[in-house]
Amino acid sequence: MKKLLSIALLLTGIVLSSCEGEAQGEFFSIKNNQFWKTADGRSIYSQGGGIFKFPDPQTGKEKYYWYGVYYQEAALYQQSQEMTYGHNHFSGVTCYSSTDFVNWTYEATVLTAKELQMKTHPTWAGRMGVAYLPEIKKYALLIQHGQNVLICLGDSPTGEFTQHRHIDMTDRIGTPNTGDQTVFTDEETGKSYLIYSYGRGRNKIYVSEIGVKDGMVDLLDCVQIFQGESREGNCLFKYKGRYYMCASNIYGWDCSYAYYLVADDIYGPYTPTNDMQVMPGCEMDFAHVTQTGFFYTIKGTKQDLVLYCGDRWAEFAGNGLGYNQWLPLTFEGEENTPRFNSVSHWELNATTGEWRVGAENNYILNPSFEADRNAIPSNRKPVQEQLKGWTSEVITGNKIANFDKHSPQLNYFNTLEDRRIVVGEKSLCLHDTIPFSRRVWQVVESRPNIPLDDGTYTLTAMVRTEGTLTTSVMYAGEQIINIPATNGEWQSLDSTEVEVKGGRIEVGFRAEGEAGARLLVDDVEMKRK
């Protein structure tokens, strides 16, 4: 009897240990600023979509399914980064699956260009999501197609979707098309909604429940929840029973602040009324150089974690490397104010809902100077005198001012040749038409949830000099690194060890030179050694 009891206790221990291991989960690495691949090495092409949890048709176990659009230009840019493409060509809606939110498997192209007759009638197709409708036991894919909302149906999350109907939105909102749209599923109620804006100007945002009416999939209602400043990238998430409506500026698919409103009911009222707030933490690099794409709330065993899933569109190329940039949100105070955490490398445990900063995180914000879409200073939206995340000081030379024709330009637009060597469309530029002395710097310091621990870090940058510069240096704190003359060629500065004390250090560049001389800087990195 004792022997049987011992065996039973041993088996129980094994089971408990196994369950405990499953409950603990595992941390997996998420690296932004690069092109992502599936677990078996295939390139991931997925833009303007969303992630939804559905049962696996084979096992019945729930999985994450990630849908998005594959544009031909996405593959072209991944192959060669010197071009920015002015047009897009729809290839299909892709579907990937995962159990841990990090390692993804390609499932299928669930909606094809052939199904949309793109070759005979090419038009815009994008901004889509998928909802399950238990009334008809079908999966509904809603996508912008031309000037309408197209609904396609499939029998499984990975199954082929075929056209069901087009919806002309004129009778509902006054325009046949929606502005940007996403699909949000409230996992607590099982209901799914289309989140979208007015088709012209995009100064109104609406919520509609997705359901079945008269045997057809339809939008069951239409409730306006916002009217004011024009917004795009409309998307929604839920956290601790409250609904957060989010959007971006209308910057031509370029990066911007992430804005939000909050409500206790999905139909509102959302507060502050018609006054979207900038999400703290996104200010210095325009939300890690992204536009709002979609959100997903992971229900962990230890905590819920909201993921901001940003998109780098910029005409399908121009905002640096990687189309998908995923960042964790945290929440502050009694009001649960969302905070954006800009990290280039972090680790996620989708079982527990925990996250932590990765060992290869770059603590410099806007390190490749891609956040600014215009020549800075800029009188165009967004009106600004300084580069995002950086401060420029004129010691001698022309002053920096928006409305001064003599003002030096703080960023340089990379040529095709430049972009074969450095990342993206822009670089930092220290230059003037008269003799000058200038410094540009960023204070790198601990931020909420992203500590800058004391210790040794490595600092690198790409640099290029032109003309006669009497001074040309990179510095970190009291440490000065001389930049040699490169005679118009890009060079990588040797990795320099710098010491951080007190969770703060100033990193910057100084240049003095004759009229027309120039110091260009790109791809600044400061990583923990």
124, 143 Cβ separation under 8 angstroms: no
Task: Note the pLDDT of residue 91.
Answer: 94
Quote the tokens at residue 366: 């806007």
| Closest listed residue to residue 195, CA positions, set 226, 157, 151, 160 | 226
Q: What is the pLDDT of residue 236?
A: 98
**What is the structure's pLDDT at 253?**
80
How confident is residue 1, by pLDDT bands cut at 50, 70 and 90?
A: very low
Q: How many residues are given for the chain?
A: 529
pLDDT digits (tens, 9 = 90+) for 442-453: 999 999 999 999
Q: Given a cut of 50, is residue 392 above it in pLDDT? A: yes
Name, in order, each residue with C-beta under 8 angstroms of 393's C-beta and a sequence gap of 6 or more: 438, 439, 440, 441
pLDDT beyond 90 at 17: no
Helix (H) or strand (E) holding 3: helix 2-24
Chain centroid to CA 40: how far?
23
Q: Which residue has the higher pLDDT, 315 or 475?
A: 475
- Return the H-helix or E-strand segment holding 74: helix 72-79
d(CA 63, CA 189): 18
- pLDDT the model gives residue 13: 42
In this prediction, residue 14 carries a pLDDT of 35
Tokens of 2: 């004792």
Q: What is the mean pLDDT of residues 184-191?
A: 96
pLDDT at 7: 38
Q: What percent of the chain has pLDDT over 90?
A: 87
Q: Among 125, 116, 194, which residue's Cα sits nearest to residue 162?
A: 116
CA distances from 170 to 178, 199, 255, 272 (A): 9, 9, 29, 28
- Check residue 315 and give its pLDDT: 67
Rounded average pLDDT over 152-165: 96
Q: Specify the DSSP class assigned to residue 181.
A: E
Per-residue pLDDT at 83: 85
Is 139 exposed, middle or buried, given 0-12, 13-18 or 19+ CB atoms closer than 10 A? buried
DSSP code for 44: P
Q: Which two tokens stand for residue 287?
A: 């939300």
Q: How much is the pLDDT for 317? A: 63
- Element housing 288 (H / E): helix 286-289
Give me the pLDDT at residue 9, please.
34
Residues 295-349 pLDDT 10s: 999 999 999 999 999 999 866 667 889 999 999 999 999 999 999 999 999 999 9
Closest alpha carbon to 180 in 243, 218, 230: 230
Domains in the chain, ordered, with CATH?
43-286 (2.115.10.20), 391-528 (2.60.120.260)
Over 80: is that where the pLDDT of 168 sits?
Answer: yes
Q: Predicted confidence band at 120 (pLDDT cuts at 50, 70, 90)?
A: confident
- Report the alpha-carbon angle 124-129-132, nearest 5: 140
pLDDT tens digits along 125-150: 999 999 999 999 999 999 999 999 99
pLDDT on residue 305: 98
Backbone conformation region of residue 59, classed left if phi is above 0, alpha if psi is from -120 to 50, else beta: alpha
The pLDDT assigned to 254 comes to 87
Q: Is the pLDDT of residue 258 over 70?
A: yes
